[in-house]
A and B are shown apart, each in its own frame.
Chain A
């Protein structure tokens, strides 16, 4: 089941710079997209979401962009902070269907 793909297993960024995490999906029925953040030994925690009627959603340092024609979304974190170091999962769902997750991207923000 590869409906949601995160092709970069890891990303390293300098503190203060922008982090860009990418996600692609194949199911055109997906209409709601989310990013979760996961620290070791903890469950995923919700970060930010976007519905398919929008192409951008911003919450503080976090912005999610959705390109429906390309079936692509991205998470921008700016400025990046060392505390942002975690695994970031992209997730998607279709109406009344259940959420599917990507494989995750490990972000390391270096001081």
Chain B
């Protein structure tokens, strides 16, 4: 069964460093998402991406964040200068169309900022 894959599974970084989290969405999906979950808290929407551009972003997704689809398969989330409060699980998700049911999530990338 096709699945969303994310790398790395865990990354530890120093505050102020740049981090890139990678995702390979399901191949025939057109809509891509990043969510995050700070330990013990809710799953928070960060950004959605369609047709090579951001379609919606939350207030969390400030200038320190960016997303890119550099080729036909990868979808990346970059944090330019990490802060302690960026420590969280970051989930990538995809779905075939805007209203076609559920999101398919990857297993997450745990980011620890020291």
Contact = CB atoms under 8 A, between A and B. Distances in A.
A35 B56 CA distance: 22
Nearest to B93: A43
Nearest to A6: B42
A104 B108 contact: no
Contacts of A95: 98-99
Interface string B67-110: 00000000000000000000000010100001101111111100
Contacts of B56: 97-98
A108 interface: no
A93 to B, nearest CB: 8
A65 interface: no
Nearest to A45: B105
B14 interface: no
Range for the number of chain B residues in contact with chain A? 20 to 34
Nearest to A89: B43
Contacts of B107: 41-43
B18 interface: no
B107 to A, nearest CB: 5
B99 to A, nearest CB: 6
Given A96-B98, A98-B48, A98-B56, A43 B42 contact: no
A47 B33 CA distance: 19
Interface of A: 1, 32, 34, 36, 41-46, 49, 89, 93, 95-104
17 contacts: A1-B45, A34-B102, A36-B105, A41-B108, A43-B105, A43-B106, A44-B91, A44-B103, A46-B101, A49-B102, A95-B99, A96-B99, A97-B56, A98-B33, A98-B56, A103-B42, A104-B42
